[in-house]
């Protein structure tokens, strides 16, 4: 099974004719990893605001992003 997965990922990521990486795969990985890191940082900021009880900052974020966005993030996290 491991060999099958490695061969599959190799076939998806590397062009067999030119033996070069496919740009689309690495472009997608770049943005997926970037989105994940941004999500973690935003989550840490929100948790710090909750821990230190900064209601003014939380209210500012509610006004800027909207209540539905923050409630959605909180429901995903907890």
Q: What mean pLDDT do residues 52-65 have?
A: 71
Six token digits for residue 38: 């941004």
Domain that holds residue 63: 2-77
DSSP state of 4: H
Q: What is the pLDDT of residues 1-27, one digit of tens each?
A: 789 998 888 888 888 888 888 888 888
Number of domains in the chain: 1
Q: What is the rounded average pLDDT of the residues 66-76?
A: 74
Instruction: Count helices and strands (H / E) in the chain.
Output: 4, 0
Asked whether the predicted pLDDT for residue 50 surpasses 80, the reply is no
The torsion angles phi and psi of 52, rounded to 5 degrees, stand at: -85, 0
């Amino acid at each position: 099974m491991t060999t099958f997965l490695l061969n599959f990922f190799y076939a998806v990521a590397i062009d067999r004719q030119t033996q070069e990486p496919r740009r689309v795969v690495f472009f997608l990985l770049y943005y997926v990893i970037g989105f994940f890191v941004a999500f973690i940082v935003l989550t840490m900021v929100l948790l710090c605001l909750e821990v230190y009880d900064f209601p003014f900052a939380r209210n500012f974020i509610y006004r800027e992003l909207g209540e539905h966005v923050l409630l959605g993030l909180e429901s995903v996290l907890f």
